A and B are shown apart, each in its own frame.
Chain A
Amino acid sequence: MIEAFHIEALAHISPAWPVIIGGLIAAIIPNFTLRKALALAVPVMALVLWFNPAAPGTYGIIEFGGFTLETFRYDPLSRIWGLVFIIAAFINAIYGLHEKDRLADTMGMIYAGAGLGAVFAGDLLTLFFFWELTAISSVFLIWGARNNAAYKAGLRYLAIHILSGVLLLAGAVIRASETGSWAFDGTLTIETTGGFLIFLAFGIKCAFPFLHNWLQDAYPKATITGAVVLSAFTTKLAVYALARGYAGTEILIYIGAVMTAFPVFFAVAENDLRKVLAYSLNNQLGFMVVGVGVGTELALNGAAAHAFVHIIYKALLFMSMGAVLLRVGTVKASELGGLFKSMPATAVFCLIGAASISAFPLFSGFVAKALTLAAVAQEGHVLIWFVLIFASAGVLEHSGIKIPYFAFFAHDRGLRVREAPANMLIAMFLAAALCLWFGIFYGNLYEMLPFPEAALYYEPYTFDHIVGQMQLLLGAMFAFTLLVRFGLYPEEKRSENVDFDWIYRRFGDGALRWIWAMMDRLTAAIGNVINAVGRKLGGRMFQAFSPIGALSRDIPSGLLAIWTSALLAVVLLIAYLAP
């Protein structure tokens, strides 16, 4: 366990605040160097605050409008998530050093700070505040690409994330009205209306199946740095929220298993390598969600460890593709190949990220994923275990092989570009070093997990585990070489694969347009009927009341007397019957 030092004066300040305030200050700093220095400094300040608490507990309590807001809950679960968010913020700041975009600097910091704030939130109201802040700040990293596709994807992204926030708030309010509690802890349950709405809010951010398309839609359209930053916080915050509130909820096991499997197929067919990484991200989230669903100490350790190492190696992979995008101008697999000749360092870093996500021994994915798989098998979820093993081979396919192979090897397209800028290489180097560090010195990772005793009891580097994993990886790699050799591996081609988003982007959009058109017609038809009735009625009235109408003619006095008598009779009858 990392020993904490303690400065009493700082005890109640969440690591989120310096990062958010840094972002706000960056908004008014026109000087590029100062802004970048600030972006590097705030994660360091956050780290100091992360180290600071003397013991687990709830700090930074704010009384506001009759509510008690807990801004700094420091316990084993929030600790590890907080630390990796700080590491990610620092590495991302280095990666974005070349980028001259004040808005991106500002929003990148606020977004990272909001992620930290949400992780350290002790109650649902505080969580809601930071939850929405992550959505509002991060959308600028998509819009930062400054093109029409990114603008529209950003709008869709914002809409679904605001919806997530609204569901969270609605669920929290309903729950508070029923129980009087705003607690963000394990008392949440999907059995109640409030708890279910909150679960759904977390599910949107976690990219549950059918709620996932915002991820593959928005991330590949974000800026080069934006995609790296986005890959770290939102979805892992959702995994944290599920681990905090819904650990052991059985349905998560099945949701997670589906999440591990279906993105594999989409990733195979995808041409945009950043979109492949977005599908891959979805697949990795599945492993974590399964771990949360199993809910044992070992499984929760697995989810936490996986989230920790995943943030680093996924950022590394996004960074390498970002470097390619910067230098070549595209990450379409059909346009790439042979880039190791121009960008050898980027290629090596990408291979390290690929080896980590594929869980090669000595790389971080190996020691993290093993915990979840062991927990799933121990709890007797055999079918789910088989799905996860299938998905592990799938990970190797899309992130382990496809990404580095099609970008840096495969067919040399004659692309001769410069190596990535120095700041990008440094960021990738740091991430790659961490992938190896935690893969080799896994004890450093395990001792930070929510249940360190259970983790340290687990030994990942057994002979059986290494042999089994190498069989899996080599069997899959053999399949790849064989398929390529016999022309059975699909050629990369420029295309777009529609996903569930077709339902709302095409079918739903079409249906709404049809309904709108029909409403237009209906309104016109009703208008016509009203006009016709009006005209007819007007004609009749004219015939009756106009100067040449029926009532203007001389009426015999006898007839008028009869009508007057009848009217009088009616009045008398009413007067008689009235009580």
Chain B
Amino acid sequence: MSDPSKDKSDELIHPVARPFLWLDAPWLKSAMIWVFGLLALAFAGVDFFHHRHEYVPFAETYGFYAWWGFASFVAAVMIGWFGIRKFLGREENYWDKESHDD
């Protein structure tokens, strides 16, 4: 995260990007939790007023896609992190170091 005041004086920043420097502001990270959280809740809340018709009956349960999306994302990240990176992760020059590859 850069210092926004520094950014304003940074002449190398593209003029088109200048009005959007707030995208780099620290408060945005926290704000996005609320924005996405509330929007997800709002769309999930629609299910309480409107019955979604789905080919798979289980998908008609309240807020199904919201929690499935949440759980899937968390599962993907955790398995990628602890499953792949921890067990299959190697140093960057793994294929280089033993001369017979790359």
Contacts and interface: CB of A to CB of B under 8 A. Distances in A.
Interface of A: 148-149, 152-153, 264-269, 338, 340-345, 374, 377-378, 382, 385-386, 389-390, 392-394, 396-397, 409, 411-412, 414, 416, 419, 463-464, 467-485, 488-490, 494-499, 505-506, 509, 513
B36 A477 contact: yes
A392 B73 CA distance: 9
A340 B80 contact: no
Contacts of A468: 52, 54, 59, 64-65
Interface in B60-79: 63-77, 79
A340 B73 contact: no
B66 A411 contact: no
Contact of B91 (A343, A471, A496): A496
Contact of B90 (A470, A480, A496): A496
B54 A485 contact: no
A496 B94 contact: yes
B88 A342 contact: no
B2 A414 contact: yes
Contacts of A485: 29-30, 33
Main secondary structure of the interface of A (DSSP, over half): helix
Nearest to B2: A412
A480 B35 CA distance: 12
A173 to B, nearest CB: 35
A416 B13 contact: yes
B86 to A, nearest CB: 9
A419 B12 CA distance: 11
Given A386-B56, A397-B73, 17 more contacts: A148-B102, A264-B80, A394-B76, A412-B7, A416-B13, A464-B54, A472-B68, A478-B70, A480-B73, A481-B37, A490-B81, A494-B92, A496-B91, A497-B84, A497-B88, A505-B95, A513-B100
A345 B56 CA distance: 41
Given A341-B24, A378-B55, A472-B68, A479 B16 contact: no
B33 A478 contact: yes
B69 A472 contact: yes
Interface residues of B, number: 66
B56 A344 contact: no
Interface in B7-29: 7, 10, 12-14, 16-17, 20-21, 23-24, 29
Nearest to A489: B77
The 8 A-B residue pairs with the shortest CB-CB distance in the complex, in nearest-first order: A268-B80, A475-B69, A377-B55, A416-B12, A471-B65, A393-B72, A474-B40, A412-B2
23 contacts: A148-B102, A264-B80, A340-B23, A341-B17, A374-B55, A393-B76, A412-B7, A414-B2, A468-B65, A471-B63, A471-B64, A475-B68, A476-B69, A478-B36, A479-B74, A482-B37, A489-B77, A495-B90, A496-B90, A496-B94, A497-B89, A498-B88, A505-B95
Contact of B94 (A476, A479, A489, A498): A498
A463 B52 CA distance: 8
A468 B69 CA distance: 10
B72 A390 contact: yes
Nearest to B58: A382
Contacts of A341: 7, 10, 13-14, 17, 21, 24
B102 to A, nearest CB: 4
A490 B43 CA distance: 28
B54 A481 contact: no
A266 B52 contact: no
B13 A484 contact: no
B44 A496 contact: no
